[in-house]
Amino acid sequence: MTAEQHNQSEMPSTGTPVFQVTHLSKAFGELQVLKDISLSVNHGQVVSIIGPSGSGKSTFLRCATLLETMEHGSMSFMGKTVCEEGPQGAVYAPVSELRKLRALFGLVFQNFNLFPHYNVLKNITDAPICVQKRDPAEVLEKARELLKTMGLSAKENAYPCELSGGQQQRVSIARALISNPQILFFDEPTSALDPELTGEILKTIRALAARKMTMVIVTHEIEFARLVSDHVVFMADGVIVEQGPPEEVISHPKNPRTQAFLMKLSHKA
Amino acid sequence: MPLGFCICGLRMSKIKFISRVTSIYISIMRGTPLMLQLLMVFFGPYFLFGMSLGDSYRFPAVIIAFSLNYAAYFAEIYRGGIQSIPVGQYEAANVLGYSRAQTFFKIILPQVIKRTLPPVTNEVITLTKDTSLAFAIACAEMFTQAKHMASAQRSMMPYVAAGIFYYVFNFVVAFVMERLEKRLSYYR
Ligand SMILES: Nc1ncnc2c1ncn2[C@@H]1O[C@H](COP(=O)(O)OP(=O)(O)O)[C@@H](O)[C@H]1O
Ligand SMILES: [Mg+2]
């Protein structure tokens, strides 16, 4: 797959992390949502973020994908600076620079956010053609290839409203993949789906992991997190409470809060 | 309608002062009778500046008054439409690298047009019927003509004819808008 070739060709020789954030803090008014979060993601790594509702997981992804600005901290993609901590807090790179950096990452939303007035093909191809000014023929070919791997070849002319939730989510993953991102962020990609449809999305993500796509996934699917990730982060009240390999954090949690959270989840199931 | 679009832009401006002033404008335009506004626009220049614009000003005055008034209504319809678009659409566009202008014109506006079509149709129909108010400044619109003819002929027929004409016109408006709605109903 081309995304992978692309990844490899730009793979940093010195082991620069694909994504790195240090001492991130973020508040909404009085409410301190994220406190001193640091995370580094290497090429090919799959990081899962778990934690109770309201712990700041989405806000973290939104800071990482430039939908929110952080007050303090530094962040970089492929060693290229997004923002750096200065005397008065985080200082962001100029807008023109940030625009270029956007091509390095993709975000998959909980509720897909496909453009309802565009058909499947246009949803996927519009940004690369109109924003990145890539060759339309090449983009179209790539889009069809992606749709094929997603099992959606027959749906390229359908509109989002004509698709099931699982199909819509696969289209939105294809839309995120077409710009050859170095890293993909997922915010609860299966939470808006009927239980019988979550499987197909999890399968798609696992296929990406097998192709060494670098990913950060916020999820409540603990079993899935255990299987797919190299690194698990447990977040609560805006701090990283515990992190490590899944066999530690999920199977043998040390922190009482992690234990309580996992306990509650397993009881619900 | 285009003026309403501009006013909507001002109303939603991030600059507090501009959006404040625009919202007062909208409030006045919607809170006072159109007839009064019409008289103000027509007689205003005379009383304020002593300008006598004469007969040729009648028709422009009607156009100005109607535009100013209806722009306020259209502005509010557009604003409702824009605000009804989920933030997720902006966020998805942002992450995909669309500029603010691209996001608005490619992603948001087409959806706003679809959503505001029914209320816009309503307003256009009301607007057509409101043209009969132009008789206040004796601009020779259809209703006034009908009145003259009715008194001359001592018959109801001219009124009936005028009524039919209004109806046919609005029927055409409604028909065209409905076709437009159908054409846009390929999604959601
Ligand atoms: N735009 C916002 N304005 C104010 N508060 C917000 C905003 N977004 C999120 N929050 C608050 O931040 C906290 C963390 O939210 P979120 O990141 O969505 O948590 P999670 O995704 O882990 O459930 C919550 O208390 C939420 O109410
Ligand atoms: Mg969330």
Which CATH class for the B2-183 domain?
Answer: mainly alpha
Mean pLDDT over residues B102-117, rounded?
93
Residue A97 has pLDDT above 80, yes or no: yes
Strand-by-strand arrangement of the A72-77 sheet: A31-41, A19-28, A72-77, A80-86, A89-92
Rounded to a whole number, what is the distance in Å from the CA of B122 to chain A's nearest CA?
24
Mention every residue, 6+ apart, whose C-beta is less than 8 A from residue B104. Answer: none
Domain ranges of chain A: 3-104+181-268, 116-179
Binned at pLDDT 50, 70 and 90, residue A5 comes out as very low
Mean pLDDT over residues B112-116, rounded?
91
Mean pLDDT over residues A232-261, rounded?
95
B145-164 pLDDT tens trace = 777 777 777 777 777 877 88
Q: CA–CA distance from A234 to each of A49, A51, A247 (Å)?
A: 6, 5, 13
Predicted local distance difference test score (pLDDT) of residue A144:
96
Q: Which of A24, A25, A28 to mutate to test the pocket of ligand 1 (most atoms within 8 A of CB)?
A: A28
CB nearest B88 (choices: A102, A109, A117): A109
Residue A2 has pLDDT above 50, yes or no: no
Which chain B residue lies closest to A108 (C-alpha atoms)? Answer: B92
Binned at pLDDT 50, 70 and 90, residue A14 comes out as low
What is the pLDDT of chain B when averaged over all its residues?
A: 82
Residue B91: HSE in the Cβ half-sphere, 13 Å Cα cutoff: 20
Which CATH class for the A3-104+181-268 domain?
Answer: alpha beta
CA B4/CA B18 separation, integer angstroms: 15
Nearest residue (by CA) to ligand 1, atom 9, is: A59
Of the candidates A159, A161, A163, A164, the one whose C-alpha atom is nearest the C-alpha of residue A196 is A164
Predicted local distance difference test score (pLDDT) of residue A269:
57
Q: According to DSSP H, which parts of B32-156 are helical?
A: 34-49, 58-83, 87-95, 100-102, 109-130, 142-153
Q: Which of A26, A31, A33, A217 to mutate to test the pocket of ligand 1 (most atoms within 8 A of CB)?
A: A33
CA A257/CA B164 separation, integer angstroms: 76
Mean pLDDT over residues B88-113, rounded?
94
Of the candidates A57, A68, A83, the one whose C-alpha atom is nearest the C-alpha of residue A217 is A57
Residue A4 has pLDDT above 70, yes or no: no
Domain ranges of chain B: 2-183
B36-90 pLDDT tens trace = 888 888 777 777 776 666 667 777 778 888 888 888 888 888 889 999 999 999 9
Binned at pLDDT 50, 70 and 90, residue A177 comes out as very high
Binned at pLDDT 50, 70 and 90, residue B137 comes out as low
Residue A11 has pLDDT above 60, yes or no: no
Contact between A207 and A228 (Cβ < 8 Å): no
Does A49 sit in the ligand 1 pocket, CB within 6 Å?
Answer: no
